[in-house]
Amino acid sequence: MKKLVIFGVGLIGGSVALALKKAGVDTRIVGVCRTRYSLDEALSLGIIDEAESDLQMAVSDADMIMLAAPVAQTTKILTSIQPFLSQHTVITDAGSTKTDVIASAKAVLGDQFNQFVGGHPIAGAEKSGAAAALADLFVGKNVVITPTADTNANAITAVNDLWRNCGANVSTMSAEQHDAIFAAVSHLPHLLAFALVDDIASRPNAAQLFSFAASGFRDFTRIAGSHPEMWRDISIANKQALLNEITAYESELAMIKQLLINNDSVGLEALFERASHARNQWAKSKQ
């Protein structure tokens, strides 16, 4: 891979660039961002080798293009670069939703859709921007790719190699399966954290409440410090799966509420025991 173009050189895109450099991958990395400030920052930090605002120049002779911008920008970016793509260019993304991205790529890329491989690195932080990028962000982390029946085998191999060079473990599944899974274990937790902080912040005694909040509140709400635009896009893009998960969570809360109303200490403890065991087993498996 002689030339990699990254659209969106923030936490994820920037970390890909740094990881490849650390791994000694000999590729020229070109960055494209919405603002000149972001490009200049990525360039000054040595994350990218070139900063380009001319799209034709950026994607010309590119071996791979990665979209690491918010998922709502996917259609716009693909539409803008499609006229300049060569037949050998592999296109991938790093978005947290996949069904909408795959549909967009199929609609825009036409005959070149077989060169598109959807991807999602399961890594991140509440920080954003090029300055937050880390060379080891993906080491030992999972990355899901979502090729379709139409996807070129060489394109799949190229994207696999990209992520493995970043130190990641790569899994393959359908876009629909991906979105259902991550609605439950990623997207819903973020919505819950945002909702709790918004609720507390909107109360008349918010300052007093925050002043007494400690480690439990900090740990539960850490992800509410995440990028608002990104999570807006994810929530809308994965709306149906998220609505299903919210309904399931509402049922669980209703059950807990009823246990409290009934002063059912045995039922509460049994629920807490099940949840504690499941959580501890999960944490143990991650060690």
Average pLDDT over residues 84-113: 95
Q: What's the sign of the alpha-carbon dihedral 155, 133, 235, 183? A: positive
Q: Are 7 and 65 in contact (CB under 8 A)?
A: yes
Q: What's the sign of the alpha-carbon dihedral 210, 215, 218, 220? A: negative
pLDDT of residue 35: 76
Q: Are 152 and 115 in contact (CB under 8 A)?
A: yes
pLDDT of residue 124: 73
Question: What is the average pLDDT score of the chain?
Answer: 94
Mind giving me the DSSP string for 34-48?
SSHHHHHHHHHTTS-
| Percent of the chain with pLDDT strictly greater than 90 | 86
Write out pLDDT tens, residues 62-92.
999 999 998 889 999 999 999 999 989 999 9
Write out pLDDT tens, residues 194-251.
999 999 999 999 999 999 999 999 999 999 998 898 899 899 999 999 999 999 999 9
Average pLDDT over residues 18-45: 90
Instruction: Catalogue all structural domains in the chain, each as residue range(s) with its CATH number.
Output: 3-173 (3.40.50.720), 177-286 (1.10.3660.10)
Q: Is the per-residue pLDDT at 281 higher than 90? A: yes
**Cα–Cα dist 160/125, whole Å:** 23
Q: Is the per-residue pLDDT at 172 higher than 90? A: yes
pLDDT grade, residue 126 (50/70/90)? low
Ramachandran class of 230: left when φ > 0, alpha when ψ lies in -120 to 50, beta otherwise: alpha
Strand ordering across the sheet containing 28-32: 50-51, 28-32, 3-7, 64-67, 90-93, 116-117
Write out pLDDT tens, residues 34-63.
778 788 889 989 999 999 888 999 999 999
Query: Which residues are paired to 139 by β-bridges?
Result: none
**Cα–Cα dist 52/9, whole Å:** 12
Q: Are 42 and 187 in contact (CB under 8 A)?
A: no
**Cα–Cα dist 165/188, whole Å:** 30
Instruction: Give φ, ψ of 51 to 5 degrees.
Output: -115, 125
- Which of 40, 52, 38 minimizes the C-alpha distance to 5? 52
Choice between 4 and 126, residue whose per-residue pLDDT is larger: 4
pLDDT grade, residue 128 (50/70/90)? confident
Average pLDDT over residues 172-180: 97
